[in-house]
Structure 1
């Protein structure tokens, strides 16, 4: 059973707002990173390594700048909400934009 303090630790509308803001950050940066990867002509594993490196940088920036080093204050699962949870949805957006931009730039090579 949950402790009485844990039940009222988070105000749900604020947590939902933080989650939405984090989702917007991840989506927009995945589009930007996908565009960069497509324009740079990255293919295969190089593109996925580029995504992973950018994911680490973006997650570290969110943890240090937006969360002020204390993600458990803003999210129920703490660091897992910032780093782990949205990675698959962001990866799908990244691959979509990456392949689109690569095709647009290098279609006549």
Structure 2
């Protein structure tokens, strides 16, 4: 006879709450990528320096989300905890960052 799964594990996450947390996290990442992209464009960063700036700011933002919003316990708010906070939205955020970075760089330095 098959053993029943632990009921506390079955009801550990309430799906609407997890989706709300994921949406809030997505908004944080998108808005900060726009701000960081704007800063990189205005500062005139080009090439690898711009990508290094993005990665450094990504680490700071993810650390702040983990420390402040998740209170150091991301597994309480997300199913795959650290991967949901720092890993999964990285590519989408990078694309937004590059878009705003190049736009701001062009507005400040190319169209003088």
TMscore range, shorter length:
over 0.9
Return the TM-score normalized by structure 2: 0.93
Task: State the partner residue of 2:72.
Answer: 69
Among 6, 14, 20, the alignment partner of 2:17 is 14
The reply to whether residue 82 of structure 1 matches residue 93 of structure 2 is: no
Give, in angstroms, the shift of residue 107 of structure 1: 1.0
Q: Where does structure 2 lack aligned partners over 5 or more consecutive residues? A: none
Shift of 1:4: 3.3
User: 43, 52, 55: which one pairs with 1:52?
Assistant: 55
Superposition deviation, residue 2 in structure 1: 5.6
Where do 5+ consecutive residues of structure 1 fail to align? none
The alignment status of 1:103 with 2:79, answered yes or no, reads no
**How many Å apart are 1:14 and its aligned residue?**
0.4
Q: Which of 26, 31, 54 is residue 28 of structure 1 equivalent to?
A: 31
Which has more radius of gyration?
A: 2
**What is the Cα-based RMSD across aligned positions, in Å?**
1.3
How many pairs are equivalent? 109
In the TM superposition, what is the alpha-carbon distance from 1:7 to its structure 2 partner?
A: 1.7
What is the TM-score when the length of structure 1 is the normalising length?
0.96
| Separation of aligned partners in 1, 2:83 and 2:64 | 15
Partners in 1 of 2:26 and 2:10 — Cα distance? 25
